[in-house]
Amino acid sequence: MNKLPHCETLLLNLDGGVLHVTLNRPESRNAMSLAMVGELRATLEAVRHEPNVRALVLRGAGGHFCSGGDIKDMAGARARGGDAYRELNRAFGALLEEAQAAPQVLVAVLEGAVLGGGFGLACVSDVAIAASGARFGLPETTLGILPAQIAPFVVRRIGLTQARRLALTAARFDGFDALRLGLVHYCEHDDAALQQRLDETLAQIRQCAPQANAQTKALLLASEREALGPLLDRAAEQFAAAVTGAEGVEGTMAFVQKRKPKWAQ
């Protein structure tokens, strides 16, 4: 496996095929600095071609997920002019693109502040588990700025109608509302229930073949942008290759022999 990057703003722990990535700037409620963006992108790149890493769990230290962009970074960019602001903003958008496209299952555990950039990260997760007391929101317009890189991902996650309401009012809402909106998949009342739900989700992921999961995720994402006919043609080719490939053969034999496939053991 590629060596994981040295990080100043993240805690990384690889355990049983799951890479736990913790945003670790609790003094700022894990505000998204440019350094953190770079370290997250480097981490995603390090595991992109590692089939033994089955899932990524993203959460925040100190009881908060992420309070949004780091205002200090924006202040520092002011002296360098418009290009610096543009590059700073676009780097976060690139992170969202790369996180969404990661071949692993991305699980977000959402507690405390889930604002701005943190909201965007929640929108690119494959499975989102929220604490009932988490506070979600898009506060950018209250600062006189735009949720520029986040907006497309929010629209795809919860739909244009709700995205317009939330972005144009900066309304705050809790985990129950996030569940109702379809932003998250689960809402749990306490820490024990949150951990139990995470454990159950990871156990479910381990039942799935890694390559089949990666290709399925890519197929689902492609369905948003590709024409149906060519997409189905390519999917048929992938299906035929999968049936006769190592995972397909192992999965079929395990079913016939009434045992768990190797990836689930």
Task: Report the greatest alpha carbon distance in the chain.
Answer: 67
Tell me: domain 10-206, CATH 3.90.226.10, correct?
yes
Question: Which pLDDT band, with edges at 50, 70 and 90, does 73 fall under?
Answer: confident
Domain positions in the chain: 10-206, 210-264
Angstrom CA distances, 24 to 7, 27, 133, 137, stand at: 10, 9, 20, 21
Q: Are 10-206 and 210-264 the same fold in CATH?
A: no
Q: What is the pLDDT of residues 138-160, one digit of tens each?
A: 999 999 999 999 999 999 999 99
- 177 pLDDT higher than 90: yes
Cβ contacts of 144 within 8 Å, gap of 6 or more? none
Asked if residues 75 and 169 have their Cβ atoms less than 8 Å apart, the reply is no
Q: What is the pLDDT of residue 1?
A: 64
DSSP state of 69: B
Angstrom CA distances, 233 to 36, 199, 244, stand at: 40, 37, 18
DSSP state of 174: -
Cβ contacts of 240-249, under 8 Å, gap ≥ 24: 242/211, 242/212, 242/215, 245/211, 247/209, 247/210, 247/211, 247/212, 248/212
Tell me: domain 210-264, CATH 1.10.12, correct?
yes
Report the distance separating Cα 228 and Cα 48, nearest Å: 27
Report the distance separating Cα 228 and Cα 158, nearest Å: 22
Q: What is the pLDDT of residue 77?
A: 61
- pTM for this one? 0.94
Q: What is the pLDDT of residue 86?
A: 86
- E-strand spans in 88-132? 105-110, 113-115, 127-131
Percent of the chain with pLDDT over 90: 90
What is the token pair recorded at 26? 């609790």
Q: 10 Å Cβ neighbour count for 245?
A: 15
Question: Which pLDDT band, with edges at 50, 70 and 90, does 69 fall under?
Answer: confident
Q: What is the pLDDT of residues 196-219, one digit of tens each?
A: 999 999 999 999 999 999 999 999
**Average pLDDT value for residue range 125-144:** 97
Q: What is the pLDDT of residue 184?
A: 98
**Average pLDDT value for residue range 153-169:** 98
Mean pLDDT of the chain: 94
DSSP state of 66: B
Q: What is the pLDDT of residue 79?
A: 62
Percent of the chain with pLDDT over 70: 96
Q: Which amino acid is at 113?
A: A
